[in-house]
Structure formats: structure tokens, C-alpha cells
């Protein structure tokens, strides 16, 4: 079976796949990195968002072959309970998630935005998170968390 070397959360992982088009999402979840969620498999909901070379990418729309050699970061790699990423801390402080199914994708979108723009406007935040659907209505808190982490507390 063809092997793919991937750089995930800072370590090199080799995965077998008979299908070069296997979505990165399935690769990650298969490795036990289940914070990244399956929501639609169609690029419509953002639940599967991860960072690929620092940009927010929908992992259901990226193949294992395309991910080869790139730096992939999932929510697990962003920070840990002991050392959370500031955006994770902000999401906790604002108590953003309800069911939390969308949260991982939202945090990854926000992390990508913050790495490009230190002080995004509220409009920037909404635009960056627009791909992330949430059924529970955690939007207001998510925006507040991104504002807070960039030092823009109202």
C-alpha cells in the first residue's frame, strides 16, 4: 500500500492509504486525532478545519496526497490543557461552546486569522469564521473571544 509521510502537530507520521484521494480528515481521525470533526464532507460547514502551512483548510476537501510534506496542525496540536494556545484560553474564558461540535473548526479558523492579523476588526473575524457553521448559537461568544485575545476587550 502506498505510504504518505505527513507532518502533523510537529511530528512526522507515516500513513498507508490505497487511495491517494483519501481526505485528510479521515487520515487525522484514523490516527486518533478526533478533535477535527466530520460535519458534511462537502466543504460547507468548517467543522473539519485544520491549519495547513498556517492557513485554515477544510480537511475534508484536502487529500492525503496533497497534504504530503506540509505542516498540519489540529486542535490537539495548537495547545494542551497544561499549555493552551491563547485562542483556546479565550474560548474557555468566554465559555464559547455549547455542544462544542463546531468549536474545533472555529478555533482553527480564528488561529489562522490571528496569525495573519494581530488585531482583526469585528468584520474580519466574522468573515474569517463565516465558513464555520454553528447550530447552537455560540457565534456571539466566539467573536468576543477573538476580540479579547487580540486585546480588544469592549
Partner 1 sequence: MNAPVKTQRFSRRALLKGGALTVGFALTGLHKAASAQGAAAVPRVLDNKEVDAFLAVNGDGTVTVFCGKVDLGQGLRIAIPQIAAEELGIGIDKIKFVEGDTALTPNQGRTSGSNGIQRGGMQIRQAAATARKALIDLAAKRLNVAPDDLIANGGEVRPKAGGAGIRFTSLIGDRRFDLKLDPKAPLKDPASYTIVGKPLRRPDVASKCIGTATFVHDFRLPNMQHARVIRPPAIGATLISVDENSIKKFPGVKVVRIKDFLAVVGEDEWTTERAARTLRAQWSDWSGLPAQDRLADTMRADSGSTEQSLVTKGTLVAPQPRNAKKLAASYFWPMQSHGSIGPSCAVADVRADAATIWTASQGMHDNQVTYARFLGLPKDKVRLIYLEGSGCFGMNGHEDAAADAAILSRAVGRPVRVQWSRADEHGWDPKGPPQLLGITGVVGADGQILDWRTDMWIAQTTKGLLNIPLLGPQAAGLDNIVGLNTGLISQNGDPPYAADHIKVVVHWLKEAPLRPAPLRSPGKPANCFAVESFIDELAAAAGIDPIEFRLRSLKNPRGIELIKRVATMMKWQTRPSPGADTNAAVARGRGMSYVHYKHSETFVAMGMEVAVERASGKIKVERVVCAHDCGQIINPDGVRAQVEGSILQTLSRVLLEEVKFDRSRVLSVDWSSYPIMRFSDVPKLDIDLVDRPTEPPLGAGEAACAAVGAALANAVYDAAGVRLRTVPFTPERVKAELNSKAS
Q: Interface with ligand FES includes 98 (CB under 6 A)?
A: yes
Of these partners, ligand FES, partner 1, none, which one is at the site of residue 48 (CB under 5 to 8 Å by kind)? ligand FES
Applying CB under 6 A, the span of 13-21, 33-41, 69-77, 115-123 interacting with ligand FES comes to: 33-41
Measured CA to CA in angstroms, residue 27 lies from 34, 45, 96 at distances of 10, 19, 28
Looking at 53, 54, 93, 117, which residue binds partner 1 (CB under 8 A)? 93
Asked if residue 74 lies in contact with residue 8, where contact means CB atoms within 8 angstroms, the answer is yes
Dihedral sign (CA 10, 120, 40, 96): positive
Q: Interface with partner 1 includes 146 (CB under 8 A)?
A: no
Q: Which residues bind partner 1 (CB under 8 A)?
A: 17-19, 22-23, 26, 29-30, 32, 34-35, 37-42, 44-45, 47, 74-76, 78-81, 84, 88, 91-104, 107, 125-127, 129-130, 132-143
Amino acid at each position: 500500500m502506498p505510504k504518505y509521510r505527513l507532518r502533523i502537530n510537529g511530528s512526522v507520521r507515516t500513513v498507508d492509504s490505497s487511495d491517494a484521494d483519501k481526505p485528510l480528515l479521515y487520515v487525522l481521525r484514523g490516527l486518533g486525532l478526533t478533535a477535527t470533526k466530520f460535519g458534511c464532507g462537502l466543504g460547507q460547514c468548517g467543522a473539519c478545519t485544520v491549519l495547513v502551512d498556517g492557513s485554515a483548510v477544510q480537511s475534508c476537501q484536502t487529500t492525503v496526497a496533497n497534504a504530503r510534506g506540509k505542516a498540519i496542525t489540529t486542535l490537539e496540536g495548537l495547545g494542551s490543557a497544561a499549555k493552551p494556545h491563547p485562542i483556546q484560553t479565550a474560548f474557555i474564558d468566554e465559555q464559547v461552546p455549547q455542544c462544542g461540535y463546531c468549536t474545533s473548526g472555529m478555533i482553527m479558523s480564528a488561529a489562522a486569522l490571528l496569525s495573519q492579523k494581530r488585531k482583526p476588526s469585528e468584520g474580519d473575524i466574522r468573515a474569517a469564521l463565516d465558513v464555520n457553521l454553528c447550530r447552537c448559537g455560540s457565534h456571539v461568544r466566539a467573536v468576543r473571544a477573538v476580540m479579547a485575545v487580540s486585546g480588544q476587550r469592549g
